[in-house]
Structure 1
Amino acid sequence: MSTDLDVAHTADTADPWERARGARALLAANAAATQERGRPTPESLAAAREVGAFAVTTPARFGGLDADNRTMVRVFAELGAGCPSTSWLAAVSATAKSMFTDWMTADAQKAFYADPHVSICGTARPSGHARTVPGGTRVTGRWPYASGCLDAPWAMLGAPELDGDMPTGLPRYVLLPTDELTVERSWDGVAGLQGTGSHTLVADDVFVPDTFLMAPPQGPDGAPVPPSDARRMQVALHTVSPLLGAAKGALDVTGPLMTTERPVFGTAYRRRAESPSARHFFAEASHLVHTAEQRTVGVADLLDAAERGHTLSPTELAHARMHLIAAMQDCRLAVDKLLDLHGSSAFAAGNPLGRFWRDLSVGTRHAAISAWVAADDHGRVLTEDRDDTTTKDERDVT
């Protein structure tokens, strides 16, 4: 299937996928500690940086890789096979850079991309309020689900604009250092992706200079123009890729169990691989993950074609979204089969298969890949009803 960074100034152009494969074992070794800490270990973050995972969507003019979507899928899936949480943070940061770099002023871009491997957290969903003052804007509010906020040096946030005490009905977007914000630990105790540290960011009358205000393209009414369909599909693709990796990682940890000399309770089998049914379960799981990878890479190729000038039709977009949904459903089914093979001990807190299952279960419920919303929109396209139900929700997803 078609499927060393010098971190000081410029990302190494050597194949980041090969580097990601090399980092997979280190991330896996640190995955339990990442879950325990509620954030990636310093070693895992350093490995992801060396791979180039935080520079894949950094523009080449700032020393980044400016990678295509196929490369991003492969990198995030490889890292996700080691630690889905670490890969998730790289994917979230890549999405934000891809969508919002052009919204930044030249001064903000220069400061932000001083390090091409810089990470960013936050959300474009407006919350709180933004009030214009001389020289800038003062922002107050709370922004949940800010994946990576414990480690990212920058945040991109949206807040409804006020004119005096009256809302204007328009959002204001800002780029600001996370050390000017506080973190409300709202993610502790979540069942999966615990290592993403997706807590709530809080701003209390924080001043943002004019040069760090972000300017999305505007329509005739002055309202921000939503991201293109292809760009919104890229959000879903980035969301899926680390989760595809989780399923690949689950295969990794179950494979040795199949051949280990260990009597199977209630049977005469000395190892699971002696059982035709167990071999069938494992083969089915492997095939499901392989099929999910093919679907995901296919969507990446479609988006790469769009970036080369191909115009995506509503039908292509709806089909692509459903391919991603189907890929995640296949991954969940595959991991369920692997759990059946492993038995109830997989659900122990420290078992890596259980961790992959929890991460996959939480991540595949992200709003960007909501199965029922995608099915609703797909059905409308198939019946030639072009009323896009997903536009508003997707505009809010980062």
Structure 2
Amino acid sequence: MTVITNVRERAVAAPPEPGLTPEEIIARAEAIAPTLVARQAETEARTYYAQDTHELFAEAGLYRILVPKRYGGYEFGVDTFFRVVMTLARGCPSTGWMYCLGAAHALAVATLFGERAQDEIFDGDFICPATIMPSGTAERTEDGDWIINGTWAYCSGSPYATHFVGHTLVAPEEGAEPVPMLFIVPSSQFRRLDDWGGQLGLKGSGSHSIKIENARIPDHFTIKSHISQFDVSGGTPGLTLHGNPQYGGGPLSIMILESAVLAAGIAHGALDAYEDLMRARTTSFPPITGRTENPDFQFWYGQAAGMLATAEAAVLNALQQWKDACARGPEAFTPELELRIAGIGREVVRLSWDAVQRYLFPTAGSSSVRVGERVERVWRDLSTMHSHAGVAIYLNGLAPREYAMARFGIEAHH
């Protein structure tokens, strides 16, 4: 592991609670999550979680979990962050989604951007939606800066964002074929559009579009690559700067695991609701008994619970594989490894969805799947998750083939 002396040259900004532990921050999330359940309808109507919830997250330190210590963050492990995400998503799917996809990208920024950029970007709490689809335009100025224009859709976490990470296409030289360029823009240079909430599910996930008009950013706020194609095998700026192996990990596989953790947490919320129904309701047909005493309901609950326990175990094991690779060094992050971890993420999403749509939703009862009921909401939210390009197209189509090609040493033909 390489630690550069310039870590000491910059005064480290202490976080608000220097003694805070991962266990304590997870416990705070566990205390907050039950309060989110009753506010699900309110969150959907607003299209994002409330200002007081945002302030509670900030006070609890949730926006600093992945921010490096150098910049006033707690620099806790990704496992701590994922535990918090799973807990919040279990309470309110929209809130968990919005929190995760706003706070998660502290890891990518701290990994991929250089010291100069990070010194200017990070300042404690960090909320940064990111999109993978290139859009808009970027024009180079005479002094080497970039002028960014365009609209980027599905920016989950945008209502309270401090920054935005997007992609656009630029030609490396005149007449050359355009290639992706990743860029980061502070919130002072973009605005959120009021265009979210009409979808089937995840209505409160704050996934509004972001519009950028003539934003001027320095060249060191850009990376000439797509975030999913960044090769970390030769080391990363973040690993050199912070000396923490988690800032040297592969960005593709960890982004996939974000979706998997969300799916598992959301589905667990449906299981919680189903358990409440089991305890409170009776069977529809004779002999009339409590659902907890009925063999069919016992089977349906047990099947779903087993599937979700497996999903949680799988995603945590995949995360451990990611962490182990970080510890071995950047060269461990081969395309094959990243795509194998992505494959585990795909199966976690499938298990979570199957538990809900095969066992919990159909047997909960018609009154329990009316609009606004908890089981109905989870079904809508997971259905909408399956329309996400990263799940529907990449994980279920491209990723399995790419893994096989990586395994057998076959180059992709573009």
TM range (shorter): 0.7 to 0.9
Residue 141 of structure 1 is matched in structure 2 by 150
Alpha-carbon distance between aligned partners in 1 of 2:154 and 2:272, rounded to the nearest angstrom: 29
TM-score by length of 2: 0.80
| Corresponding residue number in structure 1 for 2:119 | 110
Distance in 2 (alpha carbons) for counterparts of 1:145 and 1:151: 14
The answer as to whether partners of 2:180 and 2:224 remain within 8 angstroms in 1 is no
The alignment status of 1:334 with 2:359, answered yes or no, reads no
Over residues 297-321 of structure 1, what are the superposed CA-to-partner deviations in whole Å (9 max), with x where a residue is unaligned?
Answer: 0000000101101625655444432
Shift of 1:110: 3.4
Identify the residue that residue 48 of structure 1 maps to in structure 2. 57
Q: 1:199 to 1:13 in 2, by over 3 A?
A: same
The match for 2:384 is 362
Q: Secondary structure, in 3 states, of the residue corresponding to 1:159? A: strand
- What are the superposed Cα offsets for residues 304-363 of structure 1, whole Å, 9 maximum, x if unpaired? 101101625655444432222111111111112111221223332211111112112222
Amino acid at match of 1:235: M
Identity within the alignment, %:
22
- What's the CA shift for 1:101? 2.9
Letter in 2 for 1:345: S
Q: Which of the pair is proportionally richer in strand?
A: 1
Following TM superposition, by how much is the alpha carbon of 1:386 offset from its aligned partner in structure 2, in angstroms?
3.2
**Aligned: 1:17 with 2:39:** no
- CA deviation string 1:3-53 (max 9, x = no partner): xxx975868334222222122112223222111110111233233334443
1:334 and 1:320 map into 2 onto residues whose CA distance is: 21
Point out where structure 1 has 5 or more consecutive residues left out of the alignment. 1-5, 219-223, 393-398
Residue deviations 1:197-237 (CA, integer Å, cap 9, x gap): 212212222233x276334589xxxxx85566832100101
In structure 2, list runs of 5 or more residues that go unmatched. 1-13, 234-248
Opposite residue 410 of structure 2, the aligned amino acid is R
Give the Cα–Cα distance (whole angstroms) in 2 for the partners of residues 232 and 124 of structure 1: 11
One-letter code of the match for 1:342? A
Letter in 1 for 2:267: A
Structure-1 residue corresponding to 2:342: 321
Q: What's the secondary structure of 2:178's corresponding residue?
A: strand
Kindly indicate whether the alpha-carbon contact (under 8 Å) linking 2:307 and 2:352 is maintained by their aligned counterparts in 1.
yes
- Match among 75, 78, 81 for residue 69 of structure 1: 78
Does the 8 A contact of 1:92 with 1:239 survive in 2?
A: no
| 1:161–1:374 distance in 2 versus 1, CA, 3 Å | closer
Residue 60 of structure 1, CA deviation: 1.8
3-state DSSP class of the match of 2:168? strand
| Alignment partner, residue 58 of structure 1 | 67
Distance 1:129 1:350 in 2: 40
CA distance in 1, matches of 2:136, 2:155: 15
Q: Structure 2: how far apart are the matches of 1:313 and 1:350?
A: 44
- Number of the residue aligned with 1:395: none
Which of 252, 274, 279 is 1:254 aligned to? 274
Match of 2:253 in 1: 233
2: CA distance between counterparts of 1:376 and 1:215?
A: 27
| 1:350 counterpart = 2:342 | no
- The structure-2 alpha-carbon separation of the partners of 1:267 and 1:248, relative to structure 1 and needing over 3 Å to count, comes to same
Preserved contact between residue 105 and residue 211 of structure 1 (Cα < 8 Å): no
Count of aligned pairs: 376
Distance 1:167 1:100, change over 3 A: farther
8 A Cα contact 2:368 2:376, kept in partner: yes
Query: How many Å apart are 1:162 and its aligned residue?
Result: 6.7
Amino acid in the other structure paired with 2:361: L
Distance 1:232 1:163, change over 3 A: closer
CA distance in 1, matches of 2:190, 2:255: 25
**Residue of structure 1 in register with 2:410 after alignment:** 386
SS in 2 for 1:138: strand
Structure 1 residues 90 and 263: alpha-carbon distance in aligned structure 2, compared to 1, 3 A threshold:
closer
The code of the aligned residue for 1:17 comes to I
Q: Does 1:293 align with 2:301?
A: no
Residue deviations 1:264-297 (CA, integer Å, cap 9, x gap): 3333323211210110100111010000000000
Aligned to 2:11: none
